[in-house]
Amino acid sequence: MRGESRKRVLITGGAGFLGSHLCENLLEAGQDVLCVDNLFTGTKDNIAHLLDNPRFEFMRHDVTFPLYVEVDHIYNLACPASPIHYQFDPVQTTKTSVHGAINMLGLAKRVNAKIMQASTSEVYGDPEMHPQSESYWGHVNTIGPRACYDEGKRCAETLFFDYYRQYQLKIKVVRIFNTYGPKMHPADGRVVSNFIVQALKNEPITIYGDGSQTRSFCYVSDLTTAFISAMESDDSFVGPVNIGNPTEFTIKELAELVIELTSSKSELIRLPLPEDDPTQRCPDIGLAKKELDWAPKVQLEQGLEKTIEWFRKTL
């Protein structure tokens, strides 16, 4: 017999960076985990150490196609997340967010599961409000190169709230701000992985633009703790809720910190700023504090040290 608290949990995108950490955390918490992934940006290496666990199962599947399984909770993370990956095949990116959401919401409705959407700070686009709170509707270019991701995620949020209102589905929408940590794809082009890899190889650190644009970086363990708290929160709380670290850094400051922590000989070089690159990003996490009693614990320097250690071993 299964205990009341033992859930069958589906994680789409479970072989990716965040998904694989979440698989580990939920197995540690005693749940049964079904990891579904098409391995577009994720890899079996991220979950290889879990394959022998009888409570863990991996299924290679693309969420743009329907899925028929019996589960209690669904964390919908499937979607390439870094600009170079989501711009590689933008049509598939939009399909993954939109058709993926429709398929996972349909599954949740059929089996009466609770479902969480991994949304993003990108729904705010290049924000005119600072810091960004959940009440801000955003400033997104609908036809730019980031739109396949931003608008796909915005449409997924719309679908989640329509399933909630129309079918009383139990939903949670979490807006993730830049998160980093071990198991980031070394070639995903994201700023933290790029700078660490470049610094460890003593290669030039590529600053796009003048490096004055800001981001706020959340360590992965803080993020997965928030995911699980949100999933376990009262059904009346559906979000959207910002999850991120509200300490803001310029990209140049990040580069200098990475050089210092790696004792690298790398120099900073300037490259053109990508189109529609947001100039400022920082979450207002008041709602997460109030509703989930959550705040990040890991400061940037501490998280970078752990991440650098992992990249040193991996490279």
Q: Which does 96 bind (CB under 5 to 8 A by kind): ligand NAD, ligand UDP, none?
A: ligand NAD
Query: 275: which DSSP letter?
Result: T
On whether the CB atoms of residues 167 and 159 are closer than 8 A, the answer is: no
Report 160-199 residues binding ligand UDP (CB under 6 A).
Answer: 178, 189-191, 194
Integer Cα distance of 103 and 98 in angstroms: 9
- The distance from CA 6 to its chain's CA centroid, rounded to whole angstroms, is 25
Residue 157, φ and ψ in degrees, nearest 5: -60, -45
Report 101-120 residues binding ligand NAD (CB under 6 A).
Answer: 118, 120
- Using CB under 6 A, pick the residue from 274, 286, 291, 310 that binds ligand UDP: 274
Helix (H, G, I), strand (E, B) or coil at 313: helix
Residue span binding ligand NAD (CB under 6 A) among the ranges 13-21, 129-137, 254-262, 267-275: 13-21
C-alpha Rg value of the chain to the nearest Å:
19
Q: Decide if residue 216 touches ligand UDP (CB under 6 A).
A: no
Residue span binding ligand NAD (CB under 6 A) among the ranges 17-25, 138-146, 257-265, 269-277: 17-25
Q: Decide if residue 41 touches ligand NAD (CB under 6 A).
A: yes
- Using CB under 6 A, pick the residue from 7, 10, 11, 13 that binds ligand NAD: 13
Q: Please confirm, yes or no, whether 149 is among the known catalytic residues.
A: yes
Closest by CA position to 137, among listed 148, 150, 245, 146: 150
Cis peptide preceding 66, ω within 30 of 0: no
Residues that bind ligand NAD (CB under 6 A): 12-13, 15-19, 37-42, 62-64, 77-81, 85, 96, 100, 118, 120, 176, 178-179, 185
Mind telling me the catalytic residues?
Answer: 149
